[in-house]
């Protein structure tokens, strides 16, 4: 087996183990393979192992790597998991199926305008800064409810999920639990929480999507 296939098998085994305890079916969580910094050859390896959902954190890098693959694999689903600048909105809308990182009013407005113009709307999720970290993107937890209402009412934007990145070095579970509480309260059914270090905790606490880079592909350069 390739190391990729071994890594994937280990993740699936861990989800199965944890799923028994948490009474969750591993089928109910989607692996988002995070391919930032990795070449197209690694993406193809993942596609050949059956993965179809991918994440990139930079628009430019995704625009260089993915269009040809999207032609070849029509069921490929691409997620933006990094910050989106307003001047990249146009590119992002044609490239990504899911934008996980909507986090501010100016971006919502740019998205709404551009969606109107091109008539294509990707799935939109909000990034929440559960740790109140000043340097980190994301809406503060107590701003989310109003922001959602505002986006729906004024710009007709449909938002269906939340994502978070807990502060480094902290126990992730309170952050995941908070994210889930906010989602439930607002009727959002997608939860992107958990990375290589903490995906099994994310899964236990209700993640529908876990974002895995290192656990699948090994260390980035
Ligand atoms: C890079 C990245 C990941 C994947 O990180 P790993 O620790 O390598 O699994 C997940 N989410 C976001 C937002 C990232 O930028």
pLDDT tens digits, one per residue of 97-144: 999 999 999 999 999 999 999 998 999 999 999 999 999 999 999 999
Atom of ligand 1 nearest to the CA of 195: 9
- Taking the CA of residue 197 as reference, the ligand 1 atom at the shortest distance is 7
Give residue-wise pLDDT tens across range 18-54.
999 999 999 999 999 999 999 999 999 999 999 999 9
Q: Which atom of ligand 1 is nearest to the CA of 57?
A: 15
- Write out the E strands in 91-145: 98-102, 123-128
pLDDT at 221: 82
What is the atom index within ligand 1 of the atom nearest the CA of 101? 13
What's the predicted TM-score (pTM) here? Answer: 0.97
Q: How confident is the model at residue 219 (pLDDT cuts 50, 70, 90)?
A: very high
Mutate to test the pocket of ligand 1, among 14, 195, 221 (most ligand atoms within 8 A of CB): 195
Question: By C-alpha distance, which of 32, 170, 200 is closest to 101?
Answer: 32
Number of the ligand 1 atom closest to the C-alpha atom of 196: 9
Instruction: Return the closest-CA partner of residue 195 out of 47, 57, 98.
Output: 57
Does 13 score more than 90 pLDDT? yes
Ligand 1 centroid–CA 165 distance in Å is: 9
Name the token pair of 11: 């993740």
d(CA 212, ligand 1 centre) in Å:
6
Distance CA 110, CA 134 (A): 23
The residue behind tokens 């978070």 is 164
Output the ligand 1 site: residues, CB below 6 A.
34, 36, 57, 81-82, 165, 195-197, 211-215
CA of 64 to the centre of ligand 1 (A): 19
Nearest CA to ligand 1 atom 7: 196
Does 84 have pLDDT greater than 80? Answer: yes
How high is the mean pLDDT of the chain? 97
| Residue 1 binned pLDDT confidence (cut-offs 50, 70, 90) | low
Using the structure block, give the residue that is written with the tokens 């944890």.
18
The yes-or-no verdict on residue 2 having pLDDT over 80 is no
- DSSP state, residue 166: P
């Amino acid at each position: 087996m390739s190391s990729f296939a071994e890594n994937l098998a280990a993740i699936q085994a861990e989800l199965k183990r944890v799923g028994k305890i948490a009474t969750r079916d591993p089928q109910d969580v989607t692996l988002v393979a995070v391919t930032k910094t990795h070449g197209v050859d690694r993406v193809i390896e993942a596609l050949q192992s059956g993965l179809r959902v991918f994440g990139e954190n930079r628009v430019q890098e995704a625009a260089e790597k993915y269009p040809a693959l999207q032609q070849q694999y029509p069921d490929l689903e691409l997620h933006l998991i990094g910050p989106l600048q307003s001047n990249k909105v146009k590119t992002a809308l044609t490239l990504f199926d899911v934008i996980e990182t909507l986090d501010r009013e100016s971006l919502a407005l740019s998205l709404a305008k551009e969606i109107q113009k091109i008539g294509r709307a990707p799935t939109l999720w909000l990034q929440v800064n559960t740790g109140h970290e000043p340097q980190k993107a994301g809406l503060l937890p107590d701003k989310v409810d109003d922001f959602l209402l505002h986006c729906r009412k004024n710009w007709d934007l449909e938002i269906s999920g939340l994502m978070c990145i807990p502060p480094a070095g902290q126990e992730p579970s309170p952050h995941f639990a908070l994210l889930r509480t906010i989602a439930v309260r607002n009727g959002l059914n997608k939860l992107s929480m958990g990375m290589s270090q903490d995906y099994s905790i994310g899964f236990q606490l209700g993640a529908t999507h876990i974002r895995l880079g290192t656990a699948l592909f090994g260390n980035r350069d």
